[in-house]
Amino acid sequence: MNTLQELTRIVQAAAAADRTEDQVKLIVEAIHRAIAVDVCSLYIAAADGAMVLVASHGLDQQAVGYSRLPAGRGLVGRVAQTRHPINVAKAAAHPDFCYLAETREDEFTSFCGVPVVRAGAVVGVLVVQSREGRVMSADEQAFLVTLSTQLALVLPPEPLAVHTPASAVRRVRGVKGAPGTGIGSAWLCENLDLYSVPDRPCEDPAAAITEWHQLLSTVSKDVANERRALGDQLSEGVSGVFTAYQMLLNDPGLRLGVEQAIAAGQWLPGALRQVVHHYAEVFLAMEDPYLRARNEDLHHLGNKLYQSWAGASANLPADEHGPLILVGAKVSVSDIAACDPLRLAAIVCYEGSSLSHTAVLANALGVPAVMGTGKLKNIDDGSPLIVDGNTGQVILYPSPSIRLEFERLQRAEQALKGELASLRDEPATTPDGVRVRLMANTGLLADISPGLANGAEGIGLYRTEMPFMISETFPSEEEQLHTYRQVLDAYRGRPVYMRILDIGGDKPLPYFPIHEENPALGWRGIRFCLDNSSLLMTQVRAMLRAAEGGTENGADLHILLPMVSNSGEISAFKGVLDDALQQLHGEGVNVRRPQVGIMVEVPAAISLLPAWAGRLDFISIGSNDLSQYLLALDRNNPRVAGAYDHIHPAVLQEIARITASATTSGLPLSLCGEMAADPAAVVFLLGIGIRTLSMSASKLPRIKWLLRSFSAQDAATLAQKALTLDNSADIRTLLEGALHQRGLGRLLGSE
């Protein structure tokens, strides 16, 4: 037996099965064939710890779905309890043996069971049995142990799924895309997928290239029409999502790439697939979750081009009433635009992240969204759903009592939303008079207006990578100038913190590939920029020109340096800045020296802050990267993401140390990232003295409400207590308990 081939085949087939019952049956049948045993059975752990027989080849099928072993009982329970295999020739002679009459297993003598463990917990037990009394060979047992570790990643989480009616209540976890609660009927957005297009020869390349140019023109007009269709719902800046699509449609890299593939003999859809997939993969390979999410935008646009070529169109119900929940692998902007906004209740994407354009639009529209659920099984058009964007879950076929409870929560959310709207122009001042400045994170022109609409006092982090990602070459100074000027103009009179290009081994450009064994610790951020000083000079000049005249003209530019870890990097950047200022003054441009600061995200920077006090104008804590580097955990890796928590005692201790250092040095301090929008974390940050927070625009109103309701003195007391605790769970219990006591539990989605 080729073990590797057999393992791969079984796991891939199980992952691809659409229905749970097909999945588990496939597993036991495949193992039965692979190692020639009389019985192969799969047990999955129930909520009470009992082990439920969910599939079997060899045991009585009447027992499947019903036969249960209480926690710790029988050989199966013993395997689960000890997390260790049991391999015996005579099962009945083992002291833990427990006979289940309904399975009719008395004719089988041997027993070999291995635990199936996911995230440290036993989720099932895989069992093989034979009529002959033999111990499974070392190779056979190793095969089962190896297979069990792979199956843990694809097995269904609920033990009785195989006997649960298709219309039974089910909860599916995903990623929070946009807050709120949506109740309605599913509408499946299952359009043609460009990535499924096969390779075919092109019979007439010249005609295909002409057809390609016509297709670009047609889709460009469609995008413009969709933008107008959403115009009443979206501000001009948010509808810039469509501007980004237009930029991609007009990009020479896309146009010429498809032309070249056609000229090489590929038919138009195949050529489009090749080029779109190439650029999407470049984004997907990046470590930065914001930039990685841009691969979805390219896939969306590629699908739109392909569907237009194929003559496909959205087919949403027009003659029915009631709220709709758009459901699909990647619900597109076109799907959203085609839906009556009065009926659009929520969005569910099998794939994607909270940073995709779909999530951005959902936030802007105020539509709840859950992303990355995996394919929802056993649903059709019209299936009742509840989408809880606050917790990132989808409830399929909710019972009347569950629906009533979520309708109550929905009414409470609407009431809270109304209360928060009235705070838009109010300062984030605590009851005891402490002022906190709230700013927005952004990187797309489409993100600009939501921040302003939600009362942002500036941009705390502007990611400058996007113009570089959608270009065929490094963008010119004029191209960058155009983008930066729009951002500064939109926030005229407010501070804008622009981060210099954070490109490197973890975020390669399609026209500048970088290959490293450990890109997270490699050539990135300030290191890349200083090694490519001509690119840095172009970017700095564009920033300075965009802010021409400085605060006299309302532009308040601050420059952020990412991934700084030594003094030489600060000095080298200042040398580039001095040269840029001198050049522009010589050209007659009225530029002023902006404030310059660093993002504290590399742990090495923390100890050096006192030495840098005189060289910096401000510091900003990049809480996402700092937490990951301190904990050595990738929050986007599903195998370890469960252990990631920015309210980790080590993270809190270091942030407190940074804050104390900034206070002593007199350096203005801000914090950006997910921590700034976590209500429990905000209580701690307020308590240790952080007075500027930057977050996604949609989170601003809730954090403002929290700050206006929680005294800085009480927060300081809680923060000091939190610093004495040594695990994240206790810290969360402390801080979230304080929120509940003050009637702020709604911020946690629990009241």
b (16+ CB within 10 A) / e for 63-73: bbbebbbeeeb
Q: Which of 314, 349, 307 is nearest to 328 (CA)?
A: 349
Looking at the fold, whether 557 and 704 belong to one and the same domain comes out as no
Answer whether residue 510 shows pLDDT above 80.
no
- How far are the Cα atoms of 15, 127, 262, 306 from residue 199, in angstroms, in the given order? 26, 44, 11, 14
Residue 492 lies inside a defined structural domain of this protein: yes
CATH number of the domain residue 13 falls in? 3.30.450.40
Answer whether residue 602 shows pLDDT above 60.
yes
Query: pTM higher than 0.75 for the full model?
Result: no
CB 227 within 8 A of CB 242: yes
Looking at the fold, whether 174 and 299 belong to one and the same domain comes out as no
Sequence-ordered strand ranges (E) for 46-150: 51-57, 68-69, 86-88, 111-118, 121-129
Sign of CA dihedral 705, 708, 711, 717: positive
Residue 426 lies inside a defined structural domain of this protein: no
Structural domain for 590, as ranges: 464-597
Residue 205 lies inside a defined structural domain of this protein: yes
**Domain termination site, one of 597, 624, 643:** 597
Looking at the fold, whether 176 and 151 belong to one and the same domain comes out as no
Where does the pLDDT of residue 569 fall: very low under 50, low under 70, confident under 90, or very high at 90 and above?
very high
d(CA 21, CA 34) in angstroms, rounded, equals: 20
d(CA 695, CA 672) in angstroms, rounded, equals: 6
Residue 546: strand, helix, or coil: helix
Looking at the fold, whether 35 and 148 belong to one and the same domain comes out as yes
**Domain termination site, one of 566, 597, 628:** 597
Where does the pLDDT of residue 417 fall: very low under 50, low under 70, confident under 90, or very high at 90 and above?
confident
Looking at the fold, whether 184 and 215 belong to one and the same domain comes out as no
CB 219 within 8 A of CB 310: no
pLDDT at 672: 94
Looking at the fold, whether 539 and 645 belong to one and the same domain comes out as no
Looking at the fold, whether 253 and 116 belong to one and the same domain comes out as no
Looking at the fold, whether 175 and 266 belong to one and the same domain comes out as no
| Mean pLDDT in residue range 243-260 | 78
**Helix spans in 547-678 (H):** 567-586, 604-612, 623-631, 649-665
**Domain termination site, one of 355, 384, 419:** 419
CATH number of the domain residue 376 falls in? 3.50.30.10
Residue 682 lies inside a defined structural domain of this protein: yes
Looking at the fold, whether 534 and 651 belong to one and the same domain comes out as no
CA angle 698, 701, 707 (to 5 degrees): 135
Residue 369 lies inside a defined structural domain of this protein: yes
Query: Which pLDDT tens digit goes with each residue over 638-660?
Result: 556 567 788 999 999 999 999 99
Residue 114: strand, helix, or coil: strand
Looking at the fold, whether 56 and 76 belong to one and the same domain comes out as yes
Looking at the fold, whether 138 and 285 belong to one and the same domain comes out as no
d(CA 67, CA 41) in angstroms, rounded, equals: 12
Looking at the fold, whether 646 and 727 belong to one and the same domain comes out as yes
Residues with a known catalytic role? 357, 672
Count structural domains, the chain.
Answer: 5
Residue 452 lies inside a defined structural domain of this protein: no
Q: Which of 291-305, 550-564, 716-730 has the lowest mean pLDDT?
A: 291-305
CB 100 within 8 A of CB 142: no
Residue 143 lies inside a defined structural domain of this protein: yes
Residue 449 lies inside a defined structural domain of this protein: no
| Mean pLDDT in residue range 420-440 | 91
Answer whether residue 446 shows pLDDT above 60.
no
* Residue predicted with more confidence, 81 or 193: 81
Answer whether residue 360 shows pLDDT above 90.
no
pLDDT at 62: 80
